[in-house]
Structure 1
Amino acid sequence: MEQEVGQGAVQQPTDQDGTPKRKPKNEIFEWLKAIIIALVLVFLIRWLLFKPFIVDGPSMQPNFHTGERVIVNEILYDFRAPKPGEVIVFHVPEEGRDFIKRVIAVEGDTVKVEGDTITVNGKPIQEAYLKAPLEEAHQNGELYNKFTNFPNEKFKDGKVPAGHIFVMGDNRSNSTDSRMIGYIDLKEVVGRADVIFWPAKDMQWINH
Protein backbone atom coordinates (compact mmCIF):
# COMPACT_ATOMS: atom_id res chain seq x y z
CA MET A 1 0.00 0.00 0.00
CA GLU A 2 1.40 3.36 -1.02
CA GLN A 3 1.80 6.06 1.64
CA GLU A 4 -0.08 9.27 0.88
CA VAL A 5 1.86 12.47 0.90
CA GLY A 6 0.14 15.43 2.52
CA GLN A 7 -0.24 18.78 0.77
CA GLY A 8 3.06 20.66 0.73
CA ALA A 9 5.11 17.64 1.87
CA VAL A 10 8.20 16.55 0.00
CA GLN A 11 9.13 12.92 -0.48
CA GLN A 12 12.79 12.23 0.21
CA PRO A 13 14.50 10.41 -2.68
CA THR A 14 15.35 6.80 -1.84
CA ASP A 15 17.46 4.06 -3.34
CA GLN A 16 15.84 0.89 -4.66
CA ASP A 17 16.21 -0.76 -1.25
CA GLY A 18 14.28 2.09 0.40
CA THR A 19 17.21 3.84 2.12
CA PRO A 20 17.46 7.63 1.72
CA LYS A 21 19.81 8.79 -1.00
CA ARG A 22 22.90 10.74 0.06
CA LYS A 23 23.26 14.34 -1.07
CA PRO A 24 25.54 14.51 -4.06
CA LYS A 25 28.94 16.08 -3.48
CA ASN A 26 28.25 18.85 -5.96
CA GLU A 27 25.26 20.00 -3.86
CA ILE A 28 27.47 20.32 -0.78
CA PHE A 29 30.00 22.23 -2.87
CA GLU A 30 27.29 24.65 -4.02
CA TRP A 31 26.29 25.32 -0.41
CA LEU A 32 29.89 26.01 0.57
CA LYS A 33 30.32 28.31 -2.42
CA ALA A 34 27.17 30.24 -1.48
CA ILE A 35 28.39 30.69 2.10
CA ILE A 36 31.81 31.90 0.94
CA ILE A 37 30.24 34.38 -1.51
CA ALA A 38 27.96 35.69 1.25
CA LEU A 39 30.91 36.21 3.59
CA VAL A 40 32.88 38.02 0.89
CA LEU A 41 29.91 40.31 0.18
CA VAL A 42 29.51 41.12 3.87
CA PHE A 43 33.23 41.93 4.08
CA LEU A 44 33.12 44.16 1.00
CA ILE A 45 30.02 46.03 2.17
CA ARG A 46 31.60 46.53 5.58
CA TRP A 47 34.77 48.06 4.14
CA LEU A 48 33.03 50.08 1.44
CA LEU A 49 30.52 51.72 3.80
CA PHE A 50 32.54 51.94 6.99
CA LYS A 51 36.23 52.67 7.42
CA PRO A 52 38.47 52.42 10.49
CA PHE A 53 40.49 55.50 11.43
CA ILE A 54 43.26 55.88 14.02
CA VAL A 55 43.30 59.11 16.02
CA ASP A 56 46.78 60.61 15.81
CA GLY A 57 47.64 63.61 17.96
CA PRO A 58 46.02 65.65 20.75
CA SER A 59 43.87 67.99 18.64
CA MET A 60 40.55 66.40 19.64
CA GLN A 61 41.22 66.01 23.37
CA PRO A 62 39.51 65.66 25.79
CA ASN A 63 36.97 63.71 23.71
CA PHE A 64 39.37 61.69 21.52
CA HIS A 65 42.88 60.51 22.30
CA THR A 66 45.91 59.35 20.33
CA GLY A 67 45.72 55.68 19.42
CA GLU A 68 41.95 55.36 19.65
CA ARG A 69 40.28 53.60 16.75
CA VAL A 70 37.03 54.94 15.37
CA ILE A 71 34.60 53.68 12.76
CA VAL A 72 33.86 56.24 10.04
CA ASN A 73 30.50 56.14 8.25
CA GLU A 74 31.43 56.78 4.61
CA ILE A 75 27.94 56.66 3.10
CA LEU A 76 26.02 59.14 5.29
CA TYR A 77 27.19 62.23 3.45
CA ASP A 78 26.18 60.77 0.12
CA PHE A 79 22.62 61.56 1.25
CA ARG A 80 23.09 64.79 3.17
CA ALA A 81 25.71 67.39 4.09
CA PRO A 82 27.57 67.44 7.41
CA LYS A 83 25.86 69.25 10.28
CA PRO A 84 27.36 71.49 13.00
CA GLY A 85 28.57 69.47 15.97
CA GLU A 86 29.35 66.33 13.97
CA VAL A 87 32.83 64.82 14.19
CA ILE A 88 34.20 64.10 10.73
CA VAL A 89 37.28 62.71 9.01
CA PHE A 90 38.53 64.48 5.89
CA HIS A 91 41.48 64.53 3.51
CA VAL A 92 44.04 67.33 3.73
CA PRO A 93 45.85 67.16 0.37
CA GLU A 94 48.54 69.62 1.48
CA GLU A 95 49.40 67.37 4.42
CA GLY A 96 48.97 64.10 2.55
CA ARG A 97 46.88 62.63 5.36
CA ASP A 98 43.47 62.66 7.00
CA PHE A 99 42.31 64.84 9.90
CA ILE A 100 39.54 64.35 12.45
CA LYS A 101 37.75 67.55 13.55
CA ARG A 102 34.35 68.86 14.55
CA VAL A 103 32.03 70.77 12.21
CA ILE A 104 31.32 74.26 13.54
CA ALA A 105 29.66 75.98 10.58
CA VAL A 106 28.37 75.04 7.13
CA GLU A 107 28.01 76.79 3.78
CA GLY A 108 26.36 80.20 3.99
CA ASP A 109 27.13 80.62 7.70
CA THR A 110 29.20 83.50 9.02
CA VAL A 111 31.56 82.30 11.74
CA LYS A 112 33.63 84.25 14.23
CA VAL A 113 36.04 82.91 16.85
CA GLU A 114 37.16 85.24 19.64
CA GLY A 115 38.83 83.43 22.50
CA ASP A 116 36.32 80.94 23.88
CA THR A 117 33.34 82.59 22.20
CA ILE A 118 32.29 81.19 18.84
CA THR A 119 29.42 82.86 17.03
CA VAL A 120 27.65 81.54 13.97
CA ASN A 121 25.44 84.05 12.20
CA GLY A 122 25.84 86.37 15.18
CA LYS A 123 24.68 83.85 17.80
CA PRO A 124 27.04 82.17 20.32
CA ILE A 125 27.03 78.40 19.95
CA GLN A 126 26.69 76.05 22.92
CA GLU A 127 29.35 73.35 23.14
CA ALA A 128 28.21 70.77 25.69
CA TYR A 129 31.05 68.48 24.60
CA LEU A 130 33.56 71.03 26.00
CA LYS A 131 31.68 72.09 29.12
CA ALA A 132 34.17 70.66 31.64
CA PRO A 133 37.42 72.00 30.12
CA LEU A 134 35.86 75.40 29.44
CA GLU A 135 34.65 75.70 33.04
CA GLU A 136 38.02 74.58 34.42
CA ALA A 137 39.92 77.14 32.35
CA HIS A 138 37.56 79.96 33.29
CA GLN A 139 37.72 79.08 37.00
CA ASN A 140 41.49 79.50 36.75
CA GLY A 141 41.03 82.85 35.05
CA GLU A 142 42.30 81.52 31.74
CA LEU A 143 41.03 81.03 28.22
CA TYR A 144 40.57 77.51 26.90
CA ASN A 145 41.39 78.76 23.40
CA LYS A 146 44.75 80.49 23.70
CA PHE A 147 45.46 80.01 20.04
CA THR A 148 44.29 81.63 16.81
CA ASN A 149 41.01 83.47 16.38
CA PHE A 150 38.99 83.69 13.17
CA PRO A 151 38.80 85.57 10.82
CA ASN A 152 42.49 86.36 10.97
CA GLU A 153 45.33 87.73 8.86
CA LYS A 154 45.44 84.58 6.73
CA PHE A 155 41.69 84.15 6.29
CA LYS A 156 39.85 87.45 6.37
CA ASP A 157 36.40 86.33 5.18
CA GLY A 158 34.25 84.71 7.87
CA LYS A 159 31.50 83.54 5.53
CA VAL A 160 31.64 79.84 4.66
CA PRO A 161 31.55 79.48 0.85
CA ALA A 162 29.25 77.07 -0.98
CA GLY A 163 30.37 73.46 -0.90
CA HIS A 164 32.57 73.99 2.17
CA ILE A 165 32.49 73.70 5.96
CA PHE A 166 34.36 75.27 8.88
CA VAL A 167 35.90 72.81 11.35
CA MET A 168 37.81 73.01 14.63
CA GLY A 169 39.55 70.59 16.95
CA ASP A 170 38.12 70.19 20.44
CA ASN A 171 41.57 70.99 21.85
CA ARG A 172 41.34 74.62 20.77
CA SER A 173 44.87 75.58 21.81
CA ASN A 174 46.51 72.66 20.03
CA SER A 175 44.71 72.00 16.77
CA THR A 176 45.45 72.63 13.12
CA ASP A 177 41.99 73.36 11.75
CA SER A 178 40.04 75.84 9.62
CA ARG A 179 41.64 78.74 11.47
CA MET A 180 44.93 77.77 9.82
CA ILE A 181 44.04 75.69 6.75
CA GLY A 182 40.81 77.42 5.76
CA TYR A 183 37.41 76.04 4.84
CA ILE A 184 37.15 72.34 4.02
CA ASP A 185 35.82 71.32 0.62
CA LEU A 186 32.99 68.81 0.99
CA LYS A 187 34.68 66.72 -1.70
CA GLU A 188 37.48 66.00 0.78
CA VAL A 189 35.17 64.69 3.52
CA VAL A 190 35.59 60.95 4.13
CA GLY A 191 32.68 60.51 6.52
CA ARG A 192 31.35 60.87 10.05
CA ALA A 193 33.06 59.26 13.03
CA ASP A 194 30.33 57.16 14.66
CA VAL A 195 31.97 54.68 17.05
CA ILE A 196 35.09 54.44 19.18
CA PHE A 197 35.83 50.71 19.03
CA TRP A 198 39.33 50.53 20.51
CA PRO A 199 40.56 50.35 23.24
CA ALA A 200 37.74 47.98 24.14
CA LYS A 201 37.26 49.59 27.57
CA ASP A 202 36.49 52.91 25.86
CA MET A 203 34.11 51.49 23.25
CA GLN A 204 31.16 53.84 22.75
CA TRP A 205 28.89 55.54 20.26
CA ILE A 206 29.99 59.08 19.47
CA ASN A 207 27.49 61.78 20.39
CA HIS A 208 27.06 64.50 17.80
Structure 2
Amino acid sequence: MEQEQTVENESKPSSVKSEAWEWIKALLIAGGLVFIIRTFIFSPFIVEGPSMEPNFHTSERLIVNKILYDFRAPQRGEVIVFHATEDKDYIKRVIALPGEKVRVEGDKVFVNNQQLDEPWLKQALDDAAKKGIPYNTRNFAEKTVTEGSVFVMGDNRSNSADSRDIGFIEYDRIVGRADIIFWPMKDLKWIH
Protein backbone atom coordinates (compact mmCIF):
# COMPACT_ATOMS: atom_id res chain seq x y z
CA MET A 1 0.00 0.00 0.00
CA GLU A 2 2.80 2.40 0.88
CA GLN A 3 4.53 1.66 -2.37
CA GLU A 4 1.41 2.64 -4.39
CA GLN A 5 1.20 5.92 -2.50
CA THR A 6 4.82 6.73 -3.29
CA VAL A 7 4.29 6.11 -7.01
CA GLU A 8 1.26 8.44 -7.05
CA ASN A 9 3.19 11.20 -5.26
CA GLU A 10 6.10 10.92 -7.68
CA SER A 11 3.86 11.21 -10.75
CA LYS A 12 2.02 14.36 -9.56
CA PRO A 13 4.97 16.79 -9.89
CA SER A 14 5.71 15.33 -13.30
CA SER A 15 2.09 15.79 -14.47
CA VAL A 16 2.05 19.38 -13.17
CA LYS A 17 5.23 20.12 -15.15
CA SER A 18 3.75 18.41 -18.19
CA GLU A 19 0.51 20.40 -17.95
CA ALA A 20 2.42 23.66 -17.45
CA TRP A 21 4.55 22.88 -20.51
CA GLU A 22 1.38 22.17 -22.56
CA TRP A 23 -0.07 25.55 -21.51
CA ILE A 24 3.17 27.33 -22.41
CA LYS A 25 3.21 25.67 -25.85
CA ALA A 26 -0.45 26.56 -26.44
CA LEU A 27 0.16 30.20 -25.47
CA LEU A 28 3.27 30.43 -27.68
CA ILE A 29 1.36 28.98 -30.64
CA ALA A 30 -1.58 31.34 -30.04
CA GLY A 31 0.78 34.32 -29.75
CA GLY A 32 2.55 33.30 -32.95
CA LEU A 33 -0.75 32.95 -34.80
CA VAL A 34 -1.93 36.37 -33.60
CA PHE A 35 1.37 37.90 -34.74
CA ILE A 36 1.15 36.27 -38.19
CA ILE A 37 -2.52 37.18 -38.67
CA ARG A 38 -2.07 40.82 -37.58
CA THR A 39 1.16 41.30 -39.52
CA PHE A 40 0.24 39.62 -42.79
CA ILE A 41 -3.52 38.97 -43.06
CA PHE A 42 -5.86 41.21 -41.02
CA SER A 43 -5.36 44.30 -38.91
CA PRO A 44 -7.63 46.54 -36.85
CA PHE A 45 -7.98 50.20 -37.83
CA ILE A 46 -9.71 53.11 -36.05
CA VAL A 47 -11.47 55.76 -38.12
CA GLU A 48 -10.40 59.29 -37.19
CA GLY A 49 -12.08 62.42 -38.49
CA PRO A 50 -15.11 63.20 -40.66
CA SER A 51 -13.62 62.57 -44.13
CA MET A 52 -15.60 59.36 -44.75
CA GLU A 53 -18.97 60.46 -43.37
CA PRO A 54 -21.80 59.58 -43.82
CA ASN A 55 -20.60 55.99 -44.26
CA PHE A 56 -17.84 55.82 -41.62
CA HIS A 57 -17.58 57.78 -38.38
CA THR A 58 -14.86 58.75 -35.92
CA SER A 59 -13.96 55.97 -33.44
CA GLU A 60 -15.46 53.17 -35.52
CA ARG A 61 -13.18 50.18 -35.60
CA LEU A 62 -12.57 48.23 -38.79
CA ILE A 63 -10.92 45.00 -39.83
CA VAL A 64 -8.57 45.62 -42.76
CA ASN A 65 -7.77 42.75 -45.13
CA LYS A 66 -4.02 43.09 -45.72
CA ILE A 67 -3.49 40.09 -47.99
CA LEU A 68 -6.15 40.66 -50.69
CA TYR A 69 -4.06 43.02 -52.81
CA ASP A 70 -1.23 40.51 -52.95
CA PHE A 71 -3.54 38.54 -55.28
CA ARG A 72 -5.37 41.28 -57.18
CA ALA A 73 -5.41 45.04 -57.71
CA PRO A 74 -7.81 47.39 -55.89
CA GLN A 75 -11.18 47.90 -57.57
CA ARG A 76 -13.36 50.98 -57.93
CA GLY A 77 -15.65 51.58 -54.96
CA GLU A 78 -13.53 49.63 -52.47
CA VAL A 79 -12.62 51.37 -49.23
CA ILE A 80 -8.89 51.19 -48.56
CA VAL A 81 -6.49 52.12 -45.80
CA PHE A 82 -3.14 53.48 -46.94
CA HIS A 83 -0.01 55.17 -45.59
CA ALA A 84 -0.58 58.89 -46.17
CA THR A 85 2.62 59.82 -44.34
CA GLU A 86 5.26 57.85 -42.49
CA ASP A 87 3.21 57.91 -39.27
CA LYS A 88 -0.36 58.49 -40.49
CA ASP A 89 -2.80 56.15 -42.26
CA TYR A 90 -5.90 57.36 -44.14
CA ILE A 91 -9.11 55.63 -45.12
CA LYS A 92 -10.60 56.57 -48.52
CA ARG A 93 -12.61 55.12 -51.40
CA VAL A 94 -11.05 54.03 -54.71
CA ILE A 95 -12.56 56.16 -57.49
CA ALA A 96 -10.28 55.65 -60.51
CA LEU A 97 -7.80 52.99 -61.55
CA PRO A 98 -4.45 53.09 -63.40
CA GLY A 99 -4.68 54.61 -66.87
CA GLU A 100 -8.14 56.11 -66.31
CA LYS A 101 -8.88 59.81 -66.72
CA VAL A 102 -10.67 61.33 -63.72
CA ARG A 103 -12.21 64.72 -63.04
CA VAL A 104 -14.58 66.16 -60.44
CA GLU A 105 -17.14 68.84 -61.27
CA GLY A 106 -19.33 69.72 -58.32
CA ASP A 107 -21.27 66.65 -57.20
CA LYS A 108 -20.34 64.72 -60.35
CA VAL A 109 -17.29 62.52 -60.75
CA PHE A 110 -16.25 61.50 -64.25
CA VAL A 111 -14.04 58.53 -65.10
CA ASN A 112 -13.05 58.33 -68.78
CA ASN A 113 -15.72 60.99 -69.52
CA GLN A 114 -18.50 58.82 -68.01
CA GLN A 115 -20.28 60.00 -64.87
CA LEU A 116 -19.53 57.59 -62.05
CA ASP A 117 -22.51 55.96 -60.34
CA GLU A 118 -21.88 56.24 -56.59
CA PRO A 119 -24.57 54.31 -54.69
CA TRP A 120 -22.60 54.82 -51.44
CA LEU A 121 -23.39 58.58 -51.66
CA LYS A 122 -26.93 58.49 -53.07
CA GLN A 123 -28.65 59.50 -49.82
CA ALA A 124 -26.14 62.28 -49.05
CA LEU A 125 -26.39 63.66 -52.61
CA ASP A 126 -30.22 63.54 -52.50
CA ASP A 127 -30.29 65.31 -49.11
CA ALA A 128 -27.99 68.08 -50.37
CA ALA A 129 -30.08 68.50 -53.56
CA LYS A 130 -33.28 68.83 -51.48
CA LYS A 131 -31.62 71.63 -49.48
CA GLY A 132 -30.50 73.27 -52.73
CA ILE A 133 -26.80 73.11 -51.82
CA PRO A 134 -23.91 71.24 -53.46
CA TYR A 135 -22.61 68.21 -51.62
CA ASN A 136 -19.10 68.73 -52.99
CA THR A 137 -17.52 72.18 -53.19
CA ARG A 138 -14.08 71.02 -54.38
CA ASN A 139 -13.44 70.30 -58.05
CA PHE A 140 -10.54 68.46 -59.67
CA ALA A 141 -9.23 69.12 -63.18
CA GLU A 142 -8.92 66.04 -65.37
CA LYS A 143 -5.80 63.93 -64.91
CA THR A 144 -4.79 60.41 -65.89
CA VAL A 145 -4.08 58.02 -63.03
CA THR A 146 -0.48 56.78 -63.21
CA GLU A 147 0.33 53.09 -63.53
CA GLY A 148 0.51 51.25 -60.22
CA SER A 149 -1.66 53.89 -58.51
CA VAL A 150 -5.27 54.69 -57.70
CA PHE A 151 -7.23 57.93 -57.30
CA VAL A 152 -9.08 58.02 -53.96
CA MET A 153 -11.64 60.34 -52.40
CA GLY A 154 -13.32 60.61 -49.04
CA ASP A 155 -17.09 60.16 -48.99
CA ASN A 156 -17.36 63.57 -47.29
CA ARG A 157 -16.22 65.29 -50.48
CA SER A 158 -15.99 68.86 -49.19
CA ASN A 159 -14.07 67.85 -46.06
CA SER A 160 -11.51 65.26 -47.11
CA ALA A 161 -7.77 65.33 -47.76
CA ASP A 162 -7.60 62.86 -50.63
CA SER A 163 -6.07 62.43 -54.10
CA ARG A 164 -7.21 65.93 -55.00
CA ASP A 165 -4.67 67.15 -52.41
CA ILE A 166 -2.11 64.41 -51.87
CA GLY A 167 -2.02 62.91 -55.36
CA PHE A 168 -2.40 59.37 -56.59
CA ILE A 169 -1.85 56.52 -54.13
CA GLU A 170 0.75 53.97 -55.21
CA TYR A 171 -0.09 50.31 -54.63
CA ASP A 172 2.87 49.85 -52.29
CA ARG A 173 1.38 52.45 -49.89
CA ILE A 174 -1.91 50.54 -49.58
CA VAL A 175 -2.30 48.65 -46.29
CA GLY A 176 -5.45 46.81 -47.37
CA ARG A 177 -9.19 46.85 -47.92
CA ALA A 178 -11.60 47.70 -45.12
CA ASP A 179 -13.87 44.65 -44.83
CA ILE A 180 -15.77 44.84 -41.54
CA ILE A 181 -16.94 47.48 -39.08
CA PHE A 182 -16.76 45.62 -35.77
CA TRP A 183 -17.16 48.42 -33.21
CA PRO A 184 -19.39 49.83 -31.90
CA MET A 185 -21.45 46.66 -31.96
CA LYS A 186 -24.59 48.50 -33.14
CA ASP A 187 -22.73 49.34 -36.38
CA LEU A 188 -21.38 45.81 -36.97
CA LYS A 189 -21.48 45.08 -40.71
CA TRP A 190 -19.61 43.88 -43.78
CA ILE A 191 -18.40 46.74 -45.93
CA HIS A 192 -19.61 46.49 -49.53
TM-score (norm 2): 0.87
User: Take 1:36 and 1:173, find their aligned partners in 2: how far apart are those partners?
Assistant: 48
Q: Secondary structure at the match of 1:158?
A: strand
Deviation digits for residues 64-112 of structure 1, max 9, x if unmatched? 1111111111111111111100001111127x41111000011011111
Q: Deviations over 1:123-143 (max 9, x none)?
A: 111111111110111122221
- 1: distance between equivalents of 2:30 and 2:49? 35
Letter in 1 for 2:83: H
Q: Which residue of 2 aligns with 1:100?
A: 91
Kindly state the Cα deviation for residue 193 of structure 1 after the two structures are TM-superposed.
Answer: 0.8
Report the structure, 1 or 2, having the larger helix content: 2
- What is the rounded CA distance, in whole Å, between the counterparts of 2:70 and 2:106 in structure 1? 34
Shift of 1:62: 0.2
Deviation digits for residues 13-59 of structure 1 (CA, Å, limit 9, x no counterpart): xxx98xxx968535434533432233123211331221111111100
Of 112, 123, 126 in structure 1, the residue corresponding to residue 114 of structure 2 is: 123
Alignment of 1:189-204 (within 5 A): 189-204=174-189
State yes or no: 1:150 paired with 2:147: no
Secondary structure, counterpart of 1:170 in structure 2: coil
Partners of 2:31 and 2:46 in 1: how far apart?
A: 24
**Structure 1 runs of 4+ with >4 Å offset:** 21-24
RMSD over aligned Cα atoms: 2.1
CA distance in 1, matches of 2:133, 2:20: 70
Aligned equivalents of 1:65, 1:71: Cα separation in 2: 14
**SS of residue in 2 equivalent to 1:167:** strand
Amino acid at match of 1:80: R
Map of 2:83 onto structure 1: 91
Determine what percentage of the aligned residue pairs are the same residue: 52
1:128-143 alignment, distance < 5 Å: 128-143=119-134
Point out the structure with max Rg over C-alpha: 1
Structure 2: runs of 5+ lacking an equivalent: none
Secondary structure of the corresponding residue to residue 109 of structure 2: strand
Give the Cα–Cα distance (whole angstroms) in 2 for the partners of residues 57 and 34 of structure 1. Answer: 42
More strand by share: 2
Instruction: Report how many residues are paired.
Output: 183
What SS does the aligned partner of 1:133 have? helix
Q: Which sections of structure 1, spanning at least 5 residues, go unmatched?
A: 1-15, 152-156
Hey, what does 2:145 align to over in structure 1? 160
Aligned to 2:23: 32
The whole-number CA distance in structure 2 between the counterparts of 1:93 and 1:66 is: 19
